């Protein structure tokens, strides 16, 4: 009878240990999920934004990463360009990486105006 009682107590203890490990594992999984979710953009507003300025550095507009702008040349030709975020001060347009203010200066020098293709972006 004593052996049966000892076996029962040992079984309850082992079950308690296993249950504790399962609960701790679930808590760890939830923590890891929170970390992962905190790194993902929750909506469009949290995505990286590309800043476009004039040659003096004044902000003209923002577009989201992989947004588009339209370049309008002096002769009236219009070109749509895909923009990719590189860092807060750099972006890529048509496989060329530009510093924000250098892009503005170069466009001004060439007489090219630019604006977001979707005028709702600001």
Q: Domain extents for the chain?
A: 1-40, 44-116
Could you report the average pLDDT of every consecutive run of 10 residues in the chain (122 residues)?
Answer: 78 76 69 65 69 95 95 96 95 95 96 84 45
Quick count: other Cβ atoms within 10 Å of Cβ 64?
19
Q: Is 47 helix (H, G, I), strand (E, B) or coil?
A: coil
* The predicted structure's pLDDT at residue 16: 74
Beta bridge partners of 46: none
Six-digit token string for 45: 């507003």
Beta strands 96-99 and 113-116: pairing type?
unpaired
pTM, to two decimals = 0.59
CB hemisphere CA count around 104 (13 angstroms): 15
Q: What is the pLDDT of residue 9?
A: 75
Token pair belonging to 4: 């049966």
Could you give the CA distance from residue 113 to residue 110 in angstroms, rounded to a whole number?
A: 9
Q: What is the DSSP letter of 80?
A: E
């Amino acid at each position: 009878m004593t052996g049966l009682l000892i076996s029962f107590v040992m079984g309850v203890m082992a079950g308690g240990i296993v249950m504790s490990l399962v609960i701790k594992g679930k808590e760890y999984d939830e923590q890891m999920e929170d970390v992962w979710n905190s790194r993902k953009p929750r909506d469009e507003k949290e995505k990286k934004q590309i800043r476009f300025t004039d040659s003096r550095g004044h902000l003209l507009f923002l577009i989201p990463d992989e947004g588009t702008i339209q370049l309008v040349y002096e002769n009236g030709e219009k070109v749509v360009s895909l923009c990719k975020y590189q860092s807060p001060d750099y972006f890529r347009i048509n496989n060329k990486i530009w510093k924000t203010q250098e892009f503005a200066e170069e466009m001004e020098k060439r007489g090219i105006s630019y604006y977001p293709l979707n005028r709702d972006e600001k």
